[in-house]
Amino acid sequence: MLKRKFYSQLFTREILPDEKDFISFVKAELLFRIDKMKEEDCSCMKCKDDLKKFKDYFLKLKETEKANCY
């Protein structure tokens, strides 16, 4: 997977791809954003699309991690 820097809403700082626990930061950020969006319960298409995108990406990360364990 392509690693890119991103601004974390959870940690309120930029996360760089060369950080030691980059994948853990990504997973934590995804879970934070998913939870936040569920709480807000916005019905607009952008929020629905973003929520689906975040969930799909989190599942993809879990599958990749599981495949790398074996």
- For residue 64, name the pLDDT band (cuts at 50, 70, 90): confident
Q: Which of 12-21, 22-31, 33-42, 58-67 has the lowest mean pLDDT?
A: 58-67
Residue 19: strand, helix, or coil: coil
Mean local confidence (pLDDT), 21-50: 95
Place of tokens 């990406």: 57
The model's pTM: 0.86
Q: What is the dihedral of CA 56, 58, 64, 66, to 10 degrees?
A: -120
Q: Which of 69, 18, 66 is nearest to 4 (CA)?
A: 18
Tokens of 70: 């074996």
CA 15 to chain centre: 12
